[in-house]
Amino acid sequence: MLKYGLAYGLLSSRRRARQMLLPAITTATGAFLVVVVFAMSAGIKKQSASLGHADEIGHAIVLIAVTVLLVGVVEVAVATTRTIAHRTRELGVLGATGVRPEPVLVALLVEPVVSAFYGALGGAVLGAVVAFVLQALGLADSGVSVGGAVTGIVVAVLVSLVAAVVTSVVPTWRAVSRPPIKSLSAS
């Protein structure tokens, strides 16, 4: 049944591509910063050293970049609550026709996962491209690390996916476990 839920979620997410744009952009912004911070870590360390307390400032920059990524991902979950509110009656129909909550949950989680994944991947790749363009233009004095960029991309995508699922699963589960009559009678 889960694969049907997945297919249903993919089809409905294609229909709602426009609504997924804003969460994808906010996630992309956070992912962009994470990749730039990881790729240009040498330059950032140099700047941190000029402020003193190089290690502590360096850790703070990574912490804040990841925090900003999480802020971007929260918009994914806010968009999910909007989707759920919009599709309350549809959830009621699915429940009333005997569809179990698990595949409906999977179907509803497709949208946040897709927005988080594509947003994070797009922002991360853009971040890496910008870092290397800056290096090519001679604007990154301390160079750009390929390893750092790859680490940044992996961190951005993984953190976005996990955060999107964790923040979206509770409102989604609450919606799918509601009695169908309540969902159908919602105004």
Partner 1 sequence: MTASETVAPTTTPPAVETLRTTRGGTFGRLLRFAAANIRRRPERFVLAVLGIALAIAAVTVVRTISASFAITGADSVTRAVGDHAIWVVPAAGVEYDSKADALVAKGAPPALTLPDGWTGHQTIAGLWKSPHGHVAVYGDESLSGTQATLGTPLADRLGVSDGDTLSLPGQDVTVSVSGDSPILSVAPDVARAVVGDEGWWTADEPAKDEGRKDLGPLFGTAVGLPATTNPSETPAADGKGLVYDMTTGSGELSFAQKYASVFSGKVTNSALGLISIIGLILGFVIAISSFLASVQERRREFGIMSSIGLADEVLYFFLVESALVFVASWAIGVVGAGIAVWAVLPHLATPVAWLQASATVLAFLPAMAIVGAIVPVHRLLQQRPVALLSDS
Q: Which residues bind partner 1 (CB under 8 A)?
A: 22, 26, 29-30, 33, 37, 44, 47, 50-53, 56-57, 59-61, 63-65, 67-68, 70-72, 74-75, 77-79, 81-82, 85, 167, 170-171, 174, 187
Tokens 């952009």 found at? 25
| Shortest separation between residue 98's beta carbon and partner 1, angstroms | 26
Q: Which residues, 6 or more positions from 2, have their beta carbon under 8 angstroms from its beta carbon? A: 102, 103, 106
| Shortest separation between residue 147's beta carbon and partner 1, angstroms | 19
| Shortest separation between residue 144's beta carbon and partner 1, angstroms | 14
Q: Which is nearer to partner 1, 50 or 97 (CB)?
A: 50
- Nearest of 3, 176, 166, 158 to residue 84 by alpha carbon: 176
| Shortest separation between residue 7's beta carbon and partner 1, angstroms | 26
Q: What is the DSSP letter of 50?
A: H
The answer to whether residues 159 and 107 touch, using CB atoms and an 8 Å cutoff, is no
